[in-house]
């Protein structure tokens, strides 16, 4: 059995890949999950070449059976879970009158519904880690849009508010079992997700994925008596650039 193990969703690029690398460097065996198999395999190969112990399990995490498959593969290969990172997410903008039901469902299912399912499926392993060292950790990637509503990104923002609220509830329900939960709430991060705005916002001025990973490194090092329910990553000047 690995000494420490983690699952990271949305691990094939951007924030998830940076957190997976950090967790590997900090001695975790890591199950990487994301939607497109080829892209995920490429990410896994890169981490393996850096000497890290990872496995890739592709799946659409909006589907319950795929969430269960990821957790089962992790359990079989590594047998324990110290850190769960619920990071997979998708943002599809639309004015309210043009919201498409399919896109509404994709965002709700990926950004929010997958998270309670992962908690439920992983609970026994998290409880075992919490009982062992009282520093089991679940990191849920929300967004700064989970702290204030956004025009045209209304569905995305609502799913991220749900992630923040869910994290607060889990904090109350599980922290005394040694399972800490933290919501990450970043403004624009330089990842493929922000490609749509890079004509207007210089990517070099955005938050870096390594900034997010460094805060997760800090979370790993906190003593059992300290919990951080939420971290907001803002940019100089504050606020999203399309906010008046
Ligand atoms: N970038 C930002 O400015 C920013 C700010 C605040 C919050 N966030 C949040 O940060 C998280 C990571 O995003 P990112 O910026 O790193 O973007 P990214 O590079 O596009 O990463 C998104 C990840 O989620 C995966 N994913 C999407 N839908 C999925 C599904 N149905 N099932 C499984 N995996 C799925 C993607 O896999 P595929 O590529 O194969 O679909 C990819 O690995 C998201 O939750 C996002 O909402 C991002």
Q: Which among 156, 161, 166, 188 is annotated as catalytic?
A: 156
Global pTM reads 0.97
The CA–CA distances, whole Å, from 142 to 116, 126, 177 equal: 14, 21, 23
Whether 89 lines ligand 1, by a CB cut-off of 6 Å, is yes
Pairing of strands 54-58, 230-233: unpaired
pLDDT of residue 238: 75
Least confident of 19-28, 37-46, 192-201: 192-201
Could you read off the pLDDT of 169-190 as tens digits, one per residue? 999 999 999 999 999 999 999 9
Residues contacting 181, CB < 8 A, separation 6+: 137, 138, 139, 140, 167, 170, 171, 174, 175, 229
Q: How many angstroms does the Cα of residue 4 sit away from the middle of ligand 1?
A: 25
- End-to-end alpha carbon distance in the chain: 52
Q: Which of 136, 189, 185 is nearest to 164 (CA)?
A: 185
Question: 140 forms bridges with which residues in the sheet?
Answer: 86, 183
Contact 7, 31 (CB under 8 A): yes
What is the Å distance from ligand 1's center to 102 Cα? 18
Residue-level pLDDT at 237: 82
**Is the CB of 240 within 6 Å of ligand 1?**
no
Burial tier of 63 (Cβ tally within 10 Å: 0-12, 13-18, 19+): middle
Distance, CA of 138 to CA of 86 (rounded, Å): 7
Q: Which of 124, 166, 195, 140 is nearest to 9 (CA)?
A: 140
pLDDT for 82 beyond 50: yes
* 156 has catalytic annotation: yes
Burial 119-141 (b: 16+ CB within 10 A, else e): bebbbebbbebbeeebbbbbbbb
Chain segment 123-153, per-residue pLDDT in tens:
999 999 999 999 999 999 999 999 999 999 9
Q: Residue 241 above 70 pLDDT?
A: no
pLDDT at 103 over 70: yes
Q: What's the confidence (pLDDT) of residue 239?
A: 56
Q: Checking phi first, is residue 114 left (phi over 0); if not, alpha (psi -120 to 50) or beta? A: alpha
Q: Give 12 Cα–ligand 1 centroid separation in angstroms.
A: 9
Is a pLDDT exceeding 80 seen at residue 87?
A: yes
pLDDT tops 60 at residue 242:
no
Q: Could you give the maximum distance between any two Cα atoms of the chain, in Å?
A: 52
């Amino acid at each position: 059995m690995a000494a420490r193990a983690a699952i990271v969703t949305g691990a094939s690029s951007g924030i998830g890949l940076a957190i997976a690398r950090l967790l590997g460097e900090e001695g975790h065996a890591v199950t990487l999950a994301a939607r497109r198999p080829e892209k995920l395999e490429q990410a896994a190969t890169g981490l393996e070449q850096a000497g890290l112990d990872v496995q890739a399990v592709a799946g659409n995490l909006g589907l319950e059976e795929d969430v269960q498959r990821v957790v089962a593969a992790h359990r079989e290969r590594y047998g324990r879970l110290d850190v769960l990172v619920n990071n997979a997410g998708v943002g599809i903008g639309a004015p309210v009158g043009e919201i498409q039901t399919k896109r509404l469902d994709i965002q709700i299912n990926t950004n929010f519904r997958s998270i309670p399912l992962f908690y439920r499926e992983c609970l026994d392993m998290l409880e075992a880690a919490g009982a062992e060292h009282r520093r089991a950790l679940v990191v849920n990637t929300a967004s700064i849009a989970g702290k204030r509503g956004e025009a045209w990104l209304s569905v995305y923002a609502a799913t991220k508010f749900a992630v923040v609220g869910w994290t607060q509830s889990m904090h109350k329900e599980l922290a005394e079992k040694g399972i800490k939960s933290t919501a990450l709430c970043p403004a624009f991060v330089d990842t493929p997700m922000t490609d749509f705005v890079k004509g207007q916002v210089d990517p070099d001025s955005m938050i870096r994925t390594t900034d997010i990973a460094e805060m997760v490194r800090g979370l790993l090092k906190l003593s059992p008596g300290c919990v951080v329910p939420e971290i907001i990553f803002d940019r100089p000047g504050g606020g999203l650039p399309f906010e008046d």
